[in-house]
Structure 1
């Protein structure tokens, strides 16, 4: 199943727990959230890895050449 479908199912299930009305609006919100997360999560992970690599390279440079004041 695609992320959009799973997001719609989870959103619909959460919305139906309240018992107010149908679960269509929860399914729509879940599908939109899943699509946003498909874009945001890879960007955030890439940024975090890049930041960690640059910080590690800075630490290695400081150890090799000595810390700068």
Structure 2
């Protein structure tokens, strides 16, 4: 199953728990949220890894050449 389908199912299930008229709007919101997360999560992970690598390179430079501060 794709992330969009799972997001729609989860959104529909959460929306149907509230007892409102239907679960179609929750399914749409869940599908949209799943698609947004498919884009945002890889960007955030890539940023975090890049930040950690740059910080590590800075620490290695300080160890190799001494602290410049």
User: TM-score w.r.t. structure 2 length?
Assistant: 0.98
**Superposed displacement of residue 20, structure 1:** 1.3
**Does structure 1 residue 67 correspond to structure 2 residue 64?**
no
User: TM-score w.r.t. structure 1 length?
Assistant: 0.98
Q: Distance in 2 between matches of 1:21 and 1:67?
A: 64
**Superposed displacement of residue 21, structure 1:** 1.4
Per-residue Cα deviation, 1:30-55 (whole angstroms, up to 9, x for no partner) = 00000000000000000000000000
Counterpart of 1:32 in structure 2 is: 32
Counterpart of 1:44 in structure 2 is: 44
**Superposed displacement of residue 29, structure 1:** 0.1
Consecutive aligned runs of 4 or more in structure 1 exceeding 3 Å deviation? none
Q: Size of the alignment, in residue pairs?
A: 69
Structure 2 runs not aligned, ≥5 long: none
